[in-house]
Structure 1
């Protein structure tokens, strides 16, 4: 098979999975805020030790490429690239929303009269989310975008489909997106366990990134806030 370490840091969840082919051997994850930089290397060491493996036994390293948190993505991608350089292993990038949709499809109730569409959502501040639409087979039916959620969101799809929403951006939709064909997957959580099978498919096809030039997919430019320091004022 193929031993792949998958890293998911695009959201407040920091999650790592070690897999052999399509089978996940172990998971480490936490939703503790701002913990990514503190735990990501610890989780790697714990997973390898748990499975009796060394870093050099890996066949590839996969990372969730975004969109998502600027800082979280930088940490995940930097870690993945560092491992690939040090171990001379290929780098695999998996779309964050695609991996979320893959997981959502496996926990959704398929006993519906209408076909299902999955809208994974990542919080992009205020009423905006990063989202896309996927069918039950994982095919993208609407491209990734930063969208302000309104009462009419997904109007072109929701009359003929049941749209399942999940992710840390879905909660902000509840008060404005009220429609009988819009369902919320309450128990869903972002996880590297959903990155792993998609990474394996890319490994089989030889779809690797250029480690030197690969960058996360931020979707929007990072904007630093003005530091609030006593005695300083904006010119």
Structure 2
């Protein structure tokens, strides 16, 4: 029996789910413009454990959404996950953020392209089959009218970039699933359970989020 705590903080959605053998027992999440992860995350974890009726020591592993996504959000989630794994001496599992986002698309044909906003017309994206297997690795790319024109199958777009991308992605085989906006810890559960069974864990000491792009700190403009 495996209790896995799943943590998703790569976007505006602060999300926590506890799963037992891959089945979600509870999921608490909120998406706010102000990125309230630092205030919400540990509260959500505590409330979720209490609701399920287990304690920290009952956890078998912690799964963290590894990115790409918000630098600050990823740091908060990874720091919390590492702290729990160190304190409880349990393994850390890393789940690709775009994979769990794509898993929310309930489609039977074509391909799924999850996209996370990377400012302006740039996005973090990948390509998955309707069955969930990755067909193209994660990229940071600028969206133009020619984007994804090499894919002739039906394409389903999910993520928080739909509104800005609709103005340029207008091919007949493009469909936007607006109901799927942010990655959630709920969809991490089956992925993390499979990784746990296959012993696909990461080194707690050396694991770093997948930022994809370097984090840039710019000096303020001179007056």
Shared fold by TM > 0.5? yes
Aligned residues: 221
Any conservation in 2 of the 1:122–1:170 contact (CA below 8 Å)?
A: no
Could you say which structure has the larger radius of gyration? 1
Any conservation in 1 of the 2:162–2:178 contact (CA below 8 Å)?
A: no
Pairs within 5 Å for 1:27-176: 27-32=27-32, 33-104=34-105, 107-108=106-107, 110=108, 115-157=109-151, 159=152, 161-176=153-168
Rounded to whole Å, the distance in 2 between the matches of 1:179 and 1:147 is: 18
Q: Can you give the 5+ residue segments of structure 1 that lack an aligned partner in the other structure?
A: none
Rounded to whole Å, the distance in 1 between the matches of 2:217 and 2:72 is: 11
Rounded to whole Å, the distance in 1 between the matches of 2:21 and 2:170 is: 41
SS at match of 1:103: coil
Any conservation in 2 of the 1:123–1:168 contact (CA below 8 Å)?
A: yes
User: Equivalent residue for 2:204?
Assistant: 211
SS at match of 1:99: helix
Rounded to whole Å, the distance in 2 between the matches of 1:66 and 1:136 is: 21
Pairs within 5 Å for 1:162-201: 162-189=154-181, 190-201=183-194
Q: 2:215 aligns with which of 202, 205, 222?
A: 222
SS at match of 2:103: helix
TM-score between both structures, scaled by the size of structure 2: 0.96
**Aligned-CA RMSD value:** 1.2
Rounded to whole Å, the distance in 1 between the matches of 2:214 and 2:161 is: 19
Give every structure 1 segment of 4 or more consecutive aligned residues whose post-TM-superposition deviation is greater than 3 Å: none
